[in-house]
Amino acid sequence: MNEENFLPFALPSLSEDEIEEVVDSLRSGWWTTGPKTRRFETEFAEFVGAKYAVAVNSATAGLHLALESIGLKRRDKVITTAYTFTSTAEVVRYFDADPVFVDIDERSLNLSIPGLRDALQRETGVKAIIPVHFAGQPCEMDSIHDLAAEYGVKVIEDAAHAFPAEYKGRMVGTLSDLTVYSFYVTKTIATGEGGMVVTDDEDLANRIKVMRLHGISRDVFNRYTSEKPSWYYEVIAPGYKYNMPDIAAALGIHQLQKAETFRRRRAEMAETYTAAFADLPLRTPLVEDTTTLHAWHLYVIRLDLDRITIDRNRFIELMAKSRIGTSVHFIPLHKHPYWRDTYHLKADDFPVAERVFDEVVSLPLYPSMSDHDQQRVIDAVRAILSESVR
C-alpha cells in the first residue's frame, strides 16, 4: 500500500517575503486599494513592457472591463475558442452580446486560425477576438493580428495561463490592444484572487481604472492620502466593484519578483516530464521554436486511446489511487448545458476540441514540488500506462 502523502495537483509557492509584506499591509491600515496596489501595477507594467497596468480582483473582472472599455454593446459579437474556462465567454454575455466559438488547433490546442478566418468571414457585428494562450503556449498572434486588422476588430488576449510568456521575442502583454492576466491561487504567480489588465492605450487604461471602482472619477488612494481636503468625487459611469486590495497586492509584489525563477523551474520540470514520457502511449505538450517562450502554467498530456485499454477517466482514478492529484483542462464550452443550449452547439462543430477533451490530463507542475514529488508522478504515469498497453 502506498503510504506517501497525497500530492495535490496545484499549490502556491509562498515564502516569508509575501507573509511579511501582508503583515505590513495589515499594520499600515491600508487593507483596500492603496500604495501597494499602485506599486504592484507599476512594477508589473515595467516587467511586461507595457505602458499601463490596472490591477483588478480577478481575470474575469479584467476581461469584463476590457470589453467595456472598447464599447462592446448588445448584439455585438466576440470570437473566442470553445476550449477555455467559462469566464472567457461569460463576460461577453454580461453585455447581452454573443460569443462566437471556434475550434482549436490540433497541435497547440490554441484558437484555430482557419476557424477564426471562417468565423470572421461568416459573422457580422464582430467587435473583438479573445485568443486564449492555452497552458502558457502563446497563440499564433501574427495571424490573429493580420485578421483583426483586415476585419477592423480589437484583440483582447486572455493570458490567464501566460505569465511570463513571449511570442517571437516579444512579451505577451505588449502585442495587442489589451491583455488580461490571472493571479488565482493556482496560477504562475498568485495573489489568492486577482488579475491585471495591461495596455499601451491611455484612454482604455483610464476607462478601466474608473470602471473598476463604481465609475468614480478619483480613486480612494488619491482621496484618502491627500493632506488637503479631498473628499469630493463624481460618478461618471455605472461602474463595478473590481478593485484589488493592498493585501492581495502585497502578495503580488513578491510573487512578481520571483516570476522568472518560477518559470524556469516549471520549464525544467516540463523538460523532465517530456523526457520521461518519450516512450509511452501519449502525446506531450507542443513546444514551439526558441522565439516563443512557454509559461508552463500547465503540463497537459494527451493519452493515445488507441494504444491503451483504459480511458482518461480511469487513468485519473488510478493516479488518485497512487495519491497524486490531476485535473482536466478544459471541459469544452460546447459540452456545458448553458452554452450548448443557448447557442445550439454540437460536438460536430468542434471536432478537435471534442476529441482532445477525451485525451487530456493535466499533471502536477508547480515550483514547490520537489524532485521526489515529480518522480512520484513520473513513476505513477509510467506504471499505469505500461500496464494498460494493448
**Which positions are annotated as active-site residues?**
187
| The Cα angle at residue 172 between residues 139 and 91, in degrees rounded to 5 | 75
Q: For strand 282-283 and strand 299-303, is the pairing parallel, antiparallel, or unpaired?
A: antiparallel
- At residue 387, the 3 state secondary structure works out as coil
φ and ψ of 149, to 5 deg:
-65, -40
Task: Record the cell numbers describing residue 85, joined without a space.
Answer: 474556462
Strand partners, 308: 389
- Give CA–CA dist 381/354, Å, rounded: 23
Contact 307, 156 (CB under 8 A): no
- Give CA–CA dist 185/11, Å, rounded: 8
Amino acid at 381: V
The full DSSP string for 94-162 is: TTT-EEEEE-B-TTT-SBPHHHHHHHHHH-SSEEEEE-B-GGG----HHHHHHHHHHHT-EEEEE-TT-
